[in-house]
Amino acid sequence: MKHLLLKTLAAIGAASGCVFTVAQATETVWLDSLDLSTMRQGWGTPQVNRSIREQPLSVGGQKFERGVGTHANSTYRLALNGGTERFTASVGRDDAAGGSGSVVFQVLADGKSVFTSGMMKSGQSAKPLAVDLRGVETLLLLVTDAGDGVECDHADWANAQFTVTGAKPAPGVAPYVEGSLVRGSGPAVYLIQSGRRCPIPDGEVFKAKGFQWEKVITLADAEIDAIPIGSPVYYVPSEPVVILTPKPAPAPRLNGPKVYGARPGHPFLYRIPAQGERPMTFSASGCPRGFNLTRTPASSPARPRRAANTTSLFARRIRVAATIVVSSS
């Protein structure tokens, strides 16, 4: 019916030499009504119609009923697909934050900066913004830490709304994922690891890690700055495995303690630990009555390096002094 009406008006206009202008219907879409699950931020989770501390939105003493509370560094990407005409909001640091934090709000349209709030601190009045988005495909809402760390950087997108004439704004997909290589306008290249941008120190590390320049993704400087910095990427060349422990000598050697205790009134069993080439001969001298040295083959295939020779003695409340000797057979 709508298309038929437009065709009829166009035909009438052509016949009469007049031009008819048909206004497109507009719709208001609030930022807090969108899916915020893709909003990345430095602490906590995005809050709908309240601050990051789950308090009413308040900037510079002014209360707001609607908006989104977030925390620096914060990134929210939206696909507009040319259907949005305007974005308006009042931005500022939330009054409930406390401390001495500071934030900077930025809006990027198709990678170009269209709004920057400058540094905003506690107590400052909310700063209004109004951005023309006609023809814009992708919008990026950023909150950075103003270069002094993210402590108490609570930020509010208050009364944030879109004027829409076509497709509604929808969460966009970031061009980078875990393991991506990204860069800004400068020469620095970063590796995305655990949500952070990890600097690659130099070209040698870049080459040694097997990275490829054609896979580096270029982002706006403001978006690069909004990604938390991580530890530098290093390359440690692999080395051959070397066993530093020397091989045991072929000569027989006892490895047990010189003094071995036993509990009186209980059976006594002592296994003689020895090393060296097999077969071996074990002998013991100076043993009291009841002390038996039992010989079994020390070069047993199942345990070639363990001496199976045992001694058995029913211990009494006496001190036993015995000498055990091991020699090659």
Mean pLDDT of the chain: 83
What's this model's pTM, rounded to 2 decimal places?
A: 0.64
- Residue 304 pLDDT level (bands cut at 50, 70, 90): very low
Residue 196 and residue 163 share a domain: no
Is 13 part of a structural domain of the chain? no
* Bridge partner residues of 68 (DSSP): 48, 157
Helical (H) or strand (E) element with 8: helix 2-16
Q: How far apart are CA 106 and CA 118, in angstroms?
A: 9
- Percentages (nearest 5) of helix, strand, coil residues in the chain: 10, 35, 55
- Residue 263 pLDDT level (bands cut at 50, 70, 90): confident
- Residue 312 pLDDT level (bands cut at 50, 70, 90): very low
Is 46 part of a structural domain of the chain? yes
Q: Give residue 305's identity as a one-letter amino acid code.
A: R
Q: From start to end of 133-183, where are the E strands? A: 138-144, 154-164, 170-171, 181-183
Q: What is the mean pLDDT of residues 269-282?
A: 82
Residue 164 and residue 189 share a domain: no
Is 242 part of a structural domain of the chain? no
What is the per-residue pLDDT for 9?
47
Is 297 part of a structural domain of the chain? yes
- Residue 164 pLDDT level (bands cut at 50, 70, 90): very high
Residue 66 above 60 pLDDT?
yes
With pLDDT > 90 as the criterion, what percentage of the chain qualifies? 52
Residue 155 and residue 64 share a domain: yes
Segment among 11-25, 80-94, 104-118, 212-226 with least mean pLDDT: 11-25
Residue 276 and residue 137 share a domain: no
What is the per-residue pLDDT for 21?
52
Residue 124 and residue 41 share a domain: yes
Number of domains the chain contains: 3
* Bridge partner residues of 29 (DSSP): 162
Task: Answer with the one of 145, 171, 197 that is the final residue of a domain.
Answer: 171
What is the per-residue pLDDT for 299?
40
pLDDT in tens, 134-148: 999 999 999 998 888
Give the pairing of strands 62-64 and 57-59: antiparallel
What is the per-residue pLDDT for 142?
95
Which residues does 223 contact at the CB level (< 8 Å), separation at least 6? 75, 108, 140, 142, 184
Residue 319 and residue 209 share a domain: no
With pLDDT > 70 as the criterion, what percentage of the chain qualifies? 82
Owning domain of residue 185: 181-226
First to last CA, the chain: 110
